Amino acid sequence: MLRRPDLPAPRSPRRCAMSRIPAWAVGLALVAALAAVLCSITALRQAAHAPTLRPYAYDLPDGWTPPPVPAGSVPVTEASVALGRALFYDTKLTNDGKTTCATCHEQARAFTNGKRTGVDASGHALEHNTISLVNAGYASLYTWADPSITTIEQELAMTPRPPEAMDRLRADPAYGRMFAEVFPGQADPFTWANTETALGAFVRTLISADTPYDRFARGDRTALSPLAQEGMGLFFSNNLACYTCHVDVPRQAGMPTWAAQSHQHNGVTADGATMLVPALRNVAVTGPYMHDGRFSSLEQVVRMYERGGDEGASSPHKNPVVSGFLLTDHERAALIAFLTEGLTDQRLLTDPAYGPPPIATPDH
């Protein structure tokens, strides 16, 4: 074909650059692209599921820090707390299939049970009164008479461990998902150690930080009635010195320092035995009182300390602070007003987050 001399000669057609890439390289690129897409989908799914993996969001006042977690215990996350809460209210962990942790630790009673002494799953009375779980995450002692128990998990390990309990949990698909999430990578996460550390995560969230005393300490001078303020003055006085034995954690800025947790001879044990000095938060709802539940009212407790003790009053092992004191009826009423009105945390006693899950057990 003729062409005009002023037109450029036609170029030879170029081969597509892709035609020079080996087929194996193209295949590898496609595989990489597919992997990237799959990774993106997985990341999106994980992001949607991530909230349960986040650290538990404590709602604490300024100056308070979350409870420490002992080495070897599961971190306090939304997932571990949810698992621990489900277990706390589940009957699968007990011999009789009826009892739960909450049977002996009722939220409305500040996680005690209102009985003189505890009762086991068989209905047999135990030796000591049930200790409150409130602020247990801050504690360093967990039993009335054994100072070697220093973590929540050690205390939980002392409770009966029916062998069939793990089979009950393992048979529940919902627990299968929850245990796998909290204890990833374990061939069989259904162990008593894992169960106890999940329960410990939930118990560490049972924090009382909003009593009228707390609000008063933070500057709200209307939080306590005049009578309760007078009782607070007596509580922290050198005459009564209640604060030198009873613990409160953490410390309140600008307020007198309470004692460190300890075992002391309390003036009511006839021998030299020492007993845990309990914290007094929510004491209005944790009766009966003392290690053996011998007193049904706070007035009885106060009058006993006015006497300097009961049958153990002359014991050489008794804490010398328990030496007796004199109170007028008005002063006694003021002291009790501080203990009841001032140290009761209604938020803790009623917050649904501490109660049974919306569905009490995962398989219902």
Cα separation, 267 vs 291, in Å, equals 11
Q: Model confidence at 327, in pLDDT bands (50, 70, 90)?
A: very high
> Is the confidence at residue 20, as pLDDT, over 70?
no
Cα separation, 95 vs 164, in Å, equals 8
Name the residue among 181, 117, 151 with its Cα closest to residue 362. 181
Stated pTM of the model: 0.82
CATH node for 78-208: 1.10.760.10
Per-residue pLDDT of 306-319, as tens digits, reads: 999 886 667 777 78
Q: How many CA atoms lie within 13 A of 274 on its CB side?
A: 14
Which amino acid is present at 281? Answer: R
CATH node for 212-344: 1.10.760.10
Per-residue pLDDT of 204-253, as tens digits, reads: 999 999 999 999 999 999 999 999 999 999 999 999 999 888 878 665 56
Tokens of 251: 């410390």
Q: Model confidence at 46, in pLDDT bands (50, 70, 90)?
A: very low
> Is the confidence at residue 129, as pLDDT, over 80?
yes
Which residue did the predictor score with more confidence, 9 or 77? 77
Q: Check residue 6 and give its pLDDT.
A: 45
Q: Check residue 140 and give its pLDDT.
A: 87
Count the residues in the chain.
Answer: 364
Q: Model confidence at 272, in pLDDT bands (50, 70, 90)?
A: low
Q: Check residue 108 and give its pLDDT.
A: 98
Q: Assign 3-class secondary structure to 119-143.
A: ECCCCCECCCCCCCCCCHHHCCCCC
Name the residue among 336, 361, 286, 280 with its Cα closest to residue 108. 286
Which residue did the predictor score with more confidence, 40 or 74? 74
Residue written as token pair 């409150």: 132
Cα separation, 189 vs 211, in Å, equals 39
> Is the confidence at residue 50, as pLDDT, over 50?
no
Per-residue pLDDT of 21-31, as tens digits, reads: 565 454 555 54
Average pLDDT of the segment spanning 336-360: 94
Q: Check residue 31 and give its pLDDT.
A: 47
Cis peptide bond prior to 8, omega within 30° of 0: no
Sequence ranges of the chain with CATH classification 1.10.760.10:
78-208, 212-344
Mean pLDDT score across all residues of the chain: 83
Average pLDDT of the segment spanning 172-182: 96
Q: Check residue 18 and give its pLDDT.
A: 46
Per the CB < 8 A criterion, the answer to whether 266 and 290 are in contact is: yes
Per-residue pLDDT of 87-96, as tens digits, reads: 999 999 988 8
Q: Check residue 363 and give its pLDDT.
A: 53
| H-only helix segments in 240-328 | 298-307
> Is the confidence at residue 135, as pLDDT, over 80?
yes
Q: Which residues pair with 55 in a beta bridge?
A: 77
> Is the confidence at residue 359, as pLDDT, over 90?
no
